[in-house]
Structure 1
Amino acid sequence: MSNPPGPVAAAAVTAPSSSHSCKVILANTIAKVLISEIQAGLTALNHQRQSQHQHENVPPPPHLLGILANADPAAQTYARWTEKTCHDLGFAYTLLQVEKDSVEETILAANANPLYDGIIVYYPIYGGRQDQYLQNVVSVDKDVEGLSHLYIFNMYQNVRFLDNAENPSAAPARKSILPCTPLAVIKILEYLHIYNPILPYGNRLFGRTVCVVNRSEVVGRPLAALLANDGACVYSVDVSGVQQFTRGEGIRKRKHEVVDKEGWTIEHCAPLCDVVITGVPGEAYQFPCHLLKEGAVCINFSSEKNFPPEVKERASIYVPAIGKVTIVVLLRNLLRVVQNRQAQLQLEQGQRSEGRDASHGVSSPLSNTKAQAQPELASAPTDTSATTMNGVAS
């Protein structure tokens, strides 16, 4: 067990230079880049769907259903922002306001309704385990929040694809869905070039040290895991102490591991970090900016202002809020679940075609290729890297 850094490390936190300047970047600026990506993906999807329905009506745009069962102002604001962004980007959106006792029944009906491509439930409803149960009632095929057990398992296990994806060229791979807020933070880090594009996918945060002040099961812990799975050394801080998330020395492990840093506090880890990310609820919390490494990147995903104005005296980049990026990422996930469904349809059509060929004694070129390659594959080591989250979480 390593000891906490001593006074020497603390003394390394020096006063900022008089020439220091901090660039404040708003979420709207970053969201515009993602919007362009989504619009391109939506255009491609529409072309694909139209080609598959040449003799039928043109399919409607992807349709998101929102289910609201509380009077929480934050949830209601989120619902309004979601509706506006959907309409602005060409998605369909319907909001159902229901009583708490009707939420499960409403989700089950939406799962079975082909009108809806994705479902978002605005939590909290009951809180705790009951909300976790409802998250798993939502069909995996329509879960745009990435909160079902399968997606959470894949995220922590560093698994990127829903299918084997050993031969991605054979059919479009279905990608796993990541929770919106952690993914929004990662997309912000991409935009800020914290990810190093020269390094291989899956290792692009290697050499970065990150502090995440929040270890909730909804955002903080998933975010720490995703960053560590991409190669970073992450210090996860909450009221109970500090944990370190890494993929081991030299990022040799396939997925992250967690180590309790006994005796450590934020005073020990914050001065070591290139990036500090906060998400503490409540107006009372203020990050102690004198602990910041000079030139650090600071991002706040809390609805409250976790950083005082002094953050600009030490940080090189400051992102004060991420809400608009989170909503755009939600629609990115909606597009992804529709693309996954299209990929599944293509796979099933290919399997039916192969089945018809086999029943008529016709050999498929694909099956011949597989048969010829089999002896060589049997003696070669299996490469499972394609099934891991080998890159920027996406």
Structure 2
Amino acid sequence: MQLLDGKKVSESLLAEIAVSVKELKEAGKKTPHLAAILVGNNPASEAYVGSKVKTCEQIGFASTLLRLEQDITEAALLEHIRNFNDNPDVDGILVQLPLPAHISESRVINTIDPAKDVDGFHPISLGRMVLGEPTFISATPNGIMMLLDYYKIETAGKNCVVIGRSNIVGTPMSILLSRNSNPGNCTVTLCHSRTQNLKEICLGADIIVAAIGRPNYVTADMVKEGAVVIDVGINRIDDPSRKSGSRLVGDVDFDQVAPKCSYITPVPGGVGKMTICALMNNTLLAVKGI
């Protein structure tokens, strides 16, 4: 079993992005500028946005963090997004999800200029991705593809099961893995909470991508020997043995599943690090032109 070390890989790829930023600056060209909007004070969202802003600093990006109150109206939030759309100094815009219940995530995503949609959530970005056209690819699926490529994991002709059908991870992941590309050329089965015989389906998989948002959902009896397992989940569970009283686990029962795998991502330190790396790469592409 080998760990797919997202921390190590992201550090390597971010170092390459930092070199590109330095070259842009030395050539008198624009410094990439990422604008983030955080609504409310959700601790997880605070941590995610903080990591993104810190990464911008490390690689030489400019960044703006706009903090808004939990009770901000949808109309006011959309106006802030339009202001960033109209600001020529801003190259990429991200609105940290989830949003308060009174705000439509769909309206927010649709308001972001597709040319600045570095999260890759806009319908135009998703449509171009499906067609295989140049676009911003959703950061988590893109980060997973980067990870597979870095470790030279053979995907062509492999059976892949993606568990979870969200527009942010599961659905784009299934499309990317099935495309005529490297990594890619998998035969993909997209599963979800209504899938019958999930265990049997997973046992036929050479690659499993777990993105269902349920702690320790994928168990050892669902994974065949030698499978590659990508764990997208980040779930906080109670753990009295920890000072904090809780710990992070993925959607995969790591301790039981790992011994059966050829490769597996840890949680934390796996896909999450690659997501930020892919976001930064999208912002660099926004400056250079896709």
| 8 A Cα contact 2:159 2:188, kept in partner | yes
Report SS of the residue matched to 1:212. Answer: strand
Aligned residue in 2 for 1:240: 194
Unaligned runs of 5+ in 1: 1-21, 51-58, 162-175, 196-204, 242-263, 344-394
Distance 1:90 1:38 in 2: 9
What are the within-5 Å matches in structure 2 for residues 256-275 of structure 1?
A: 264-275=196-207
Report SS of the residue matched to 2:201. Answer: helix
Aligned residue in 1 for 2:226: 295
User: What is the root-mean-square deviation of aligned Cα atoms in Å?
Assistant: 2.0
Distance 2:145 2:172 in 1: 11
Normalised by the length of structure 2, the TM-score is: 0.85
Offset, 1:47 = 4.3
Q: Which stretch shifts more, 123-132 or 89-98?
A: 123-132
Aligned residue in 2 for 1:62: 32
Offset, 1:115 = 2.5
Aligned residue in 2 for 1:360: none
Distance 1:43 1:303, change over 3 A: same
Q: Which amino acid aligns with 2:35?
A: L
| 8 A Cα contact 1:45 1:339, kept in partner | no
The yes-or-no answer on 1:185 pairing with 2:144 is yes
Identity %: 27
Aligned length: 264
| 8 A Cα contact 2:161 2:208, kept in partner | yes
| 8 A Cα contact 2:130 2:175, kept in partner | yes
Q: Which amino acid aligns with 2:261?
A: A
Distance 2:210 2:101 in 1: 22
Distance 1:209 1:37, change over 3 A: farther
Offset, 1:178 = 0.5
Report SS of the residue matched to 2:107. Answer: helix
The yes-or-no answer on 1:315 pairing with 2:269 is no
| 8 A Cα contact 2:6 2:274, kept in partner | yes
Q: Which amino acid aligns with 1:314?
A: K
Normalised by the length of structure 1, the TM-score is: 0.63
Offset, 1:126 = 4.3
| 8 A Cα contact 2:164 2:212, kept in partner | yes
| 8 A Cα contact 2:199 2:221, kept in partner | no
| 8 A Cα contact 2:163 2:212, kept in partner | yes
The yes-or-no answer on 1:97 pairing with 2:67 is yes
Q: Which amino acid aligns with 1:317?
A: Y
Of structures 1 and 2, the larger Rg is shown by 1
Distance 1:113 1:26, change over 3 A: same
Distance 2:4 2:178 in 1: 24
Aligned residue in 1 for 2:10: 31
Q: Which amino acid aligns with 2:119?
A: E
The yes-or-no answer on 1:228 pairing with 2:170 is no
| 8 A Cα contact 2:229 2:263, kept in partner | yes
Aligned residue in 1 for 2:243: none
Offset, 1:265 = 2.0
Offset, 1:154 = 0.9
| 8 A Cα contact 1:24 1:317, kept in partner | yes
